[in-house]
Amino acid sequence: MICFSLVNFNGSTWPLRTTDSSPVPSPLPPKYLPPKYRTMPSRLFKCIPFLHPKPHPFPLSHLTTMSTKTKTRLRGVVFDMDGTLTVPVIDFSSMYKAVLGETEYRRIRQENPSGIDILHLIESWSPDEQRKANEIILDFERLGRERLQIMPGAAELCGFLDSKKIRRGLITRNVKEAVDLYHQRFEIVFSPALSREFRPYKPDPAPLLHICSTWDVQPNEVMMVGDSLKDDVACGKRAGAFTCLLDEKGRYGSADFTELDLEPDFKNDYASQGVLCHTFQSSPWKSLSDSAAQDKLSLQTDAEFGGLWATRLKISERSSVSSGVFC
């Protein structure tokens, strides 16, 4: 089990959970928390590990040997959208049944208990069959957009990342219209934001590697966050990034998913600040003060968001900060 730590007021740190059997200190009283965190939703409070410490059901693999003084640089976090940044509203089981038919759905579901990859499945169909299947999928996704809701805690987490100058990206197998609606409705911009129009899509590592290349960072300086073991975690692992699995309902504890043989680096009911505080340190971005770098980023945001949200993206020079416990 990895050692958790917090920053004391005098700059020192103390462990909240260690590899030995020493008792875990009580959670910090609210009066010692920054004012903005005292009023955070109770649901977000409950998912911050250092406030409610509990054993991780998944091993933390290569992170288990890290000490509080050896922090890995975290320069970017890439999110899945449906079920991660948004409340799950798409009835995927009904969608699959509508596309495949009840009998075929049951057969494929029995052969693949961990889930059905409908997008890859229909690629082998005839053009006419693909057209009909895509129409059904688009209808379900359109209904999902009508009921689009932000995931509780997502805005607070994005604000936390912004305060640490950590980049935010997005990879989804949903369509671009859903991504644009998220940006417009909640005014939280992710860049790059790759929808399924980008090929190949998850679980292929290509979209995540594309984001790393755009940011000019290494995959091991990035975390992939999502609620799908076979899509999000697989994508992150194949790219060489850190992975965080959101499993609020505990569905990945069943035997159906043992065949995937995938272990996320972190598992939590939401990717709160506490997850990032475990092992990562704040790492400043390279200076974007030169005009060439600024022009490149401006062109990229204009192309992705049609100029609508480019004005909201503030490009500023990142000055270096002293490394320490990232919390």
In sequence order, the 6+-apart residues with CB closer than 8 A to the CB of 177 are 145
- 0.75 exceeded by pTM: no
**Residue 97 and residue 79 in one domain:** no
In this structure, the answer to whether residues 204 and 82 fall within a common structural domain is yes
244 shares a domain with 206: yes
**Length of the chain as a residue count:** 327
Instruction: Say how many domains are in the chain.
Output: 3
Residues 110 and 178 in one domain: no
Q: Given this model, what pLDDT does residue 204 score?
A: 96
pLDDT at residue 247, rounded to an integer? 83
For residues 186 and 298, state if they share a domain. Answer: yes
CB-CB neighbours of 182 under 10 Å: 25
Residue 98 pLDDT: 96
| CATH of residue 247 | 3.40.50.1000
Q: Which residues pair with 193 in a beta bridge?
A: 170
Instruction: Report the pLDDT value the prediction gives residue 193, as an integer from 0 to 100.
Output: 98
Q: Assess if residue 171 is contained within a domain.
A: yes
| 319 within a domain of the structure (yes/no) | no
In a domain, 217, yes or no: yes
Q: What is the spatial distance between Cα 40 and Cα 160, in angstroms, rounded to a whole number?
A: 12
**Across the chain, where does the E strand assignment appear?**
4-7, 13-17, 72-74, 76-79, 167-171, 193-194, 222-226, 242-246, 266-268, 280-282
* CA angle 95–146–133, rounded 5-degree value: 25
Q: Is residue 324 included in any domain, yes or no?
A: no
In this prediction, residue 310 carries a pLDDT of: 26
Q: Can you say whether residue 250 is alpha, beta or left, with left for phi > 0 and alpha for psi between -120 and 50 degrees?
A: left
Type of residue at 318: R
* 323 in a structural domain: no
List the catalytic residues: 80, 82
Backbone angles phi, psi at 76, to 5 degrees: -165, 150
Whether 81 and 97 map to the same domain: the answer is no
Q: Which domain holds residue 235?
A: 73-86+149-312
- Confirm whether 141 is domain-assigned: yes
Answer yes or no: do 224 and 290 share one domain. Answer: yes
Residue 317 lies in a domain: no
Shared domain for 108 and 81, answered yes or no, is no
In a domain? residue 12: yes
On whether both 124 and 239 belong to a single domain, the answer is no
Residues 183 and 280 in one domain: yes
| 198 and 264, same domain (yes or no) | yes
Taking the CA atoms of the chain, what radius of gyration do you get in angstroms? 21
What per-residue confidence (pLDDT) applies to 36? 45
* Predicted local distance difference test score (pLDDT) of residue 116: 85
CB 51 within 8 A of CB 274: yes
Regarding whether 110 and 192 lie in a shared domain, the answer is no
Residue of 161, 196, 135 whose CA lies nearest to 276: 161
- Measured over the CA atoms of residue 36, residue 272, residue 183 and residue 222, the dihedral's sign is positive
What's 231's DSSP letter? I
At residue 113, the pLDDT reads 76
Per-residue pLDDT of the chain (327 residues; tens, 9 = 90+): 444 333 343 444 334 333 344 333 333 344 434 444 444 443 433 443 333 434 433 333 333 333 345 567 899 999 999 999 999 999 989 999 999 999 999 998 888 877 788 998 999 999 999 999 999 999 999 999 999 999 998 999 999 999 999 999 999 999 999 999 999 999 999 999 999 999 999 999 999 999 999 999 999 999 999 998 889 999 999 999 999 988 876 666 655 556 566 888 888 755 556 656 655 665 444 433 333 333 433 333 333 333 222 222 222 222 222 222 223
